[in-house]
Amino acid sequence: KMAEKQEEPSNTQNGEPDNAEEGEEKKKKLKREDLPPFEIVTGERLPAIFFKFQFRNVEYSSGRNKTFLCYVLETQGKESVTSRGYLEDEHAAAHAEMAFFNTILPKCESSLRYNVTWYVSSSPCVTCADRITETLKKNKNLRLTIMVGRLFMWEEPEMQAALKKMKSAGCKLRIMKPQDFEYVWQNFVEQEEGEEAKAFVPWEDIQDNFKYYEEKLAEIL
């Protein structure tokens, strides 16, 4: 457990002691377990095999019809609290993006500021994009940055319009660079018990695919 703690970016840079987040985490765990089991799968870290398949920034994402969403949620009030975790789609219920707003951040207190970063295997569908846009318009104290591995159905005019609306609502949309994949690997992927953390091994076309999607996104936005 100790070794794992070291990798966590420390809160001390905000002048906050690290243990502020401990109590918060415990509370979250309790809350999570009350959720109906089929609703939404959340976890501390996702299995490496899911990461290697789902996050791969391929051009044609056959078989990758599930969204994995890793989040860092920083709440700034009298003291800053940072929490992190991951969600994945459950077909019985919401997409991971919706689930984040339904379960992790159901309401924004107006006295607090929220900085949220998502690392998502692919960009949101039209419905989720619209929900993100509405949520950001309603909550001016919420900042959202979405780092995506792949663009979902980006050729569709409807999808392009939805992404533009997200941008105008203040959402920062970025394509994940190789370093971002490495960050997710270190912070959100299960490492084998008792082994040294395995280094992230980039796939062959990771940089080319990043460039490909970055150009597409720039054209759309």
- What is the distance between the alpha carbons of residues 32 and 123, in angstroms, rounded to a whole number? 25
Q: What is the pLDDT at residue 199?
A: 83
- What is the distance between the alpha carbons of residues 6 and 111, in angstroms, rounded to a whole number? 31
Burial class (CB in 10 A: 0-12, 13-18, 19+), 176: buried
Give residues with Cβ within 8 angstroms of 203, minimum separation 6.
56
The pTM is what?
0.76
Q: DSSP for 26-84, please give it.
A: HHHHHHHHTS-TTT-EEESSB-HHHHHHHT---SS-TT----EEEEEEEEESSSEEEEE
Q: What is the pLDDT at residue 89?
A: 77
Q: What is the pLDDT at residue 197?
A: 65
Q: Where are the domains of the chain?
A: 41-190+201-220
pLDDT means over runs of 10, the chain (221 residues): 40 42 48 41 68 72 72 91 84 78 90 96 93 96 96 94 98 96 89 70 91 96 95
Asked if residue 105 lies in contact with residue 131, where contact means CB atoms within 8 angstroms, the answer is: no
Q: What is the pLDDT at residue 216?
A: 96
- What is the distance between the alpha carbons of residues 128 and 132, in angstroms, rounded to a whole number? 6
Q: What is the pLDDT at residue 42?
A: 52
Asked if residue 79 lies in contact with residue 18, where contact means CB atoms within 8 angstroms, the answer is: no
Give residues with Cβ within 8 angstroms of 119, minimum separation 6.
69, 70, 71, 147, 176, 180, 183, 184, 188
| Residues annotated as catalytic (active site), given as ranges | 97
Asked if residue 20 lies in contact with residue 81, where contact means CB atoms within 8 angstroms, the answer is: yes
Q: Which CATH number fits domain 41-190+201-220: 3.40.140.10, 3.40.190.10, 3.40.50.720, 3.40.462.10?
A: 3.40.140.10
Q: What is the pLDDT at residue 46?
A: 75
